[in-house]
Amino acid sequence: MTKDFLLEMAAAYGVQDELAELLKDKPEPKVPMNLKCLLAEWRKERCMKRVEVLRRVDISSSQLAFYERGQQLNPGVRTLGKLAQGYQMPLWLLLRVMLSEAGVISAPGAGKAVRKRKRR
């Protein structure tokens, strides 16, 4: 599913064939289901401390804690860029998780994404 997402993005820039060749024999990367899990796993795998992340990102420590605990769920695009910079991760990975959480695309291993309709 992540490969498909990357190829769709690459198609928008006219480099789909080149990327497809690079990804040909690569396994599908595991992408966490939500922002909270992604941030926690990324920081843990890289033995990073929250203080290190805060030095690289321009948001408050309480706001960062809200994202890491899953208390704040919908960061804006600018904030996603700051988080990507702070955690030293690719922005596309954060976008992938946010689109999955919103039900726009399905996560690996999940069924077909269904957008929920708001009741009036």
Q: What are phi and psi of 72, to 5 degrees?
A: -120, 120
- Among 47, 46, 42, 37, residue whose Cα is nearest residue 69: 37
| C-alpha separations of 23 from 28, 66, 88 in Å | 9, 35, 22
Report how far residue 91's alpha carbon sits from residue 85's, in angstroms, rounded to the nearest whole number: 8
Q: 57 with 25, same domain?
A: no
Instruction: Give the domain CATH number at 58.
Output: 1.10.260.40
Which pTM was predicted?
A: 0.63
Q: 26 with 54, same domain?
A: no
Report how far residue 84's alpha carbon sits from residue 82's, in angstroms, rounded to the nearest whole number: 5
Q: How would you write the pLDDT of the chain (120 residues) with one tens digit per residue? A: 567 777 787 888 888 888 888 888 877 666 667 888 889 888 888 899 989 999 998 889 999 999 988 888 788 889 999 999 999 998 888 888 888 777 776 655 444 444 555 666
Q: Domain count of the chain?
A: 2
Range of the domain at 66: 35-101
Give the amino acid at 111.
G
